[in-house]
Amino acid sequence: VPTALLQPIEGGERFHFTAKGNPLLTHHYTADPAALVHADTLWLFTGHDFAGGQKGYKMKDWLVFSTTDMKNWTEYPVPMKITDFSWAKSGDAYAGHVAERDGKYYWYISTNWSGIGVGVSDRPEGPYRDALGKPLLTNADCFDSKHSWACIDPAIFIDDDGQAWIFWGNRECYYAKLKDNMIEIDGDIKRIDFEGFRFTEAPWIHKHNGKYYLSYATEFPEKIAYAMADTIDGPYEYKGILNEIAGNSNTNHQAIVEFKNQWYFIYHNGGINPDGGSYSRSVCMDPMFYNPDGTIKRIVMTTE
């Protein structure tokens, strides 16, 4: 819902707003951020909560925003709705992740019960259409973890050799290769396991100075922890907590990207008072810094 904070651009389809600190958005409740850096632009893809403190998620569509300077932001028309995935019976638009390959944008989405699907578009801002007409992954692909939300929270990582990987899961963290077409699993599905790995959900893979970093939500209410490895298959070594419980939200769901020589930790909290909370969340972002040995400094949540 546009407010006085938003200035229409070109006929009112897009809007401009200026970041005023955390939370980034105060005119929508947003959750489960994913970010993609392409050319000189950071694209932010989010889930969309509703106001009202209702018990349980009420998420019907996803939202997309972009910036070239982290201050001036553009908001686009709704790019994709859960009803675009006819097989998603529960109607819950859970966390997603967007990746680009050969000029096409693939938005991996999760649903409650129905699994993970893929939207595709020629433009990052969409609109996206269902690429498969069926889920890419379902609970049947999740070994012995078959509860309704076992198959959620896809995270895509394209390695330097061009191989795309998908990580996902709740309670158990799974991963697999994607074929070059980005809409088929290639080979076996594997499971991450290492000493001290207490995985709740929200995996995210990134690479820095040749090391692989797996960050994820741990415990409940969630904190974000991370582990490091020399290869994507591990073995991963637990490195500690990155971010503490997020305000009055029981989930925290992070994205980690480098943009214009600065790393960012993007996450959600229950930040907009008085209505914010676990089911009415707000996306925030803070700078992220490494120690000389490659470990990551704890995130300092700011209002800036």
| Residue in this structure with the two tokens 């930790």, named with its chain if needed | 265
Do residues 248 and 277 lie in contact, with contact meaning Cβ atoms separated by under 8 Å?
A: yes
Closer Cβ to ligand FUB, 32 or 84, answer by number? 32
Q: What's the CA gap between 207 and 299, in Å, rounded?
A: 18
Q: How many helices (H) and strands (E) does the chain have?
A: 0, 22
Please, what is the minimum distance in Å from the beta carbon of residue 94 to ligand FUB? 4
Interface positions with ligand FUB (CB under 6 A):
31-32, 47, 57, 94-95, 110, 152-153, 201-202, 251, 253
Could you tell me the smallest distance in angstroms from the CB atom of residue 209 to ligand FUB? 28
**For ligand FUB, which is the closer residue by CB, 94 or 157?**
94
Instruction: Give the Cβ contact number of residue 205 at 10 Å.
Output: 21
Give backbone dihedrals phi and psi of 273, rounded to 5 degrees, phi first. Answer: -90, 150
C-beta closer to ligand FUB: residue 15 or 281: 281
Least distance between ligand FUB and beta carbon 291 (Å): 27
Name residue, tokens 């008085």: 274
Whole-number minimum distance, CB 304 to ligand FUB, in Å? 24
For ligand FUB, the closer of residues 228 and 246 by Cβ is 246
Do 48 and 29 touch, CB atoms closer than 8 A?
A: yes
**Minimum CB separation from ligand FUB for residue 202, in Å?**
4
How many whole angstroms separate alpha carbon 173 and alpha carbon 241? 17
Q: Which is nearer to ligand FUB, 152 or 227 (CB)?
A: 152
